[in-house]
Amino acid sequence: MALHIEKIATSKISEVDFSNLKFGQVFTDHMFECDFENGAWQTPKIRPYQALSIDPSAKVFHYGQAVFEGMKAYKDDNDEIWLFRPEQNQERINKSAERLDMPAFPKEYFMEGLNTLLKMDSEWVKKGENNALYIRPFVIATENCVSASSSTNYKFMIICSPVQGYYAGEVKVVFADKYSRAANGGVGFAKAAGNYAASFYPAKLAANDGYQQIVWTDASTHEYLEEAGTMNVFFRINDTLYTAPTSDRILDGVTRKSIIELAKSEDINVEVRKISVKEIVEAAKKGELLEMFGTGTAVVISPISAFSNKGENFDLPKLENSYAALLKKKMTDIQRNLSEDKFGWRVKVQ
């Protein structure tokens, strides 16, 4: 693959306080960029991180053709950098793009561009239990035209941000009973930018009441639990883990599917099926709901300490040996090259 590289003159890394990072606000020295013009992807390039110049009529601003991914890179004690199942993100961004009538991005460009970018900005990947480099690939429509139709031009980019933890402290959630995240036949399964925009207002209302996340329910009846705003959700009733099946409403989370496989390998009973609000409320009242936790790239696993349903609040027990703690340790040890990876998930940056 031909790849045009322009290196930064002076790194800005010395200006960054890596012990006091706010998630997603600091970016590395370089970015990967490739334009789709005249029906084909052009020569990709890596250049210094900088602002873009985009025409006000670019279709991304008017019709929302934008999809993205979330990934992480980790540095081990030997200064080697590792990715976690990157092929899953590469496949999913193209699946999302297809739903929004955007062109697929070549796997070769994605993988080689990502590896080269990470090698160039390797000093930004810090060692340590809570440190990682968050990676954001995305595609936007760039045709200068306000007609209501698919764009002819697109821009694919990868930017990177050093991060620590996503949530600090306990996470409390509220079950949705009015607003919906996605509907049948829609774009809920895609990482489309508009999915998140539509969730911000309900999430703000929940935050005003002291909740960090909404657990969305089905749009038709609000009777079945689906996923949270930035996470897939797992429920532990007695000694069985439950999570909702993926559908055209629910994101096929890379962390979610990995946790399912990891739990089964630890002889934890896992059931993937529809989960009703009523079932979870009744289990909580009986003392059988032992855990709830969210999974996602940013959080890995985030334990949920309490939930609310139609004004009724439920606190979850504090367990010494929780599934969430066990699975998070197993997962992060694989991601950070601290344990054997019998699944073949870990990919070394070459």
**Closest to 74 in 3D by CA, of 85, 90, 63, 66:** 85
Is 10 in a helix, a strand, or coil? coil
DSSP string, 86-134: HHHHHHHHHHHHHHTT-PPPPHHHHHHHHHHHHHHTGGGS--STT-EEE
Verify that 122 and 211 share a domain, yes or no. Answer: no
> CB-hemisphere CA count at 13 Å for 8?
15
Please state the domain count of the chain.
2
324 is a domain residue: yes
Verify that 282 and 181 share a domain, yes or no. Answer: yes
Verify that 126 and 56 share a domain, yes or no. Answer: yes
> What local confidence, expressed as pLDDT, does residue 167 receive?
65
Residue type, 279: E
CATH code for the domain in which residue 93 is found: 3.30.470.10
The whole model's pTM is what?
0.95
In tens digits, the chain (350 residues) has pLDDT values of: 799 999 999 999 999 999 999 999 999 999 999 999 999 999 999 999 999 999 999 999 999 999 999 999 999 999 999 999 999 999 999 999 999 999 999 999 999 999 999 999 999 999 988 899 999 999 999 999 999 999 999 999 999 999 997 766 679 999 999 999 888 899 999 999 999 999 999 999 999 999 999 999 999 999 999 999 779 999 999 999 999 999 989 889 999 999 999 999 999 999 999 999 999 999 999 999 999 999 999 889 999 999 999 999 999 999 999 999 999 999 999 999 999 999 999 999 98
241 is a domain residue: yes
Name the β-bridge partners of 225. Answer: 217, 275
Verify that 177 and 135 share a domain, yes or no. Answer: no
Is 2 in a helix, a strand, or coil? coil
Verify that 198 and 309 share a domain, yes or no. Answer: yes
Verify that 186 and 59 share a domain, yes or no. Answer: no
Residue 27 domain boundaries: 4-163
> CB-hemisphere CA count at 13 Å for 235?
29
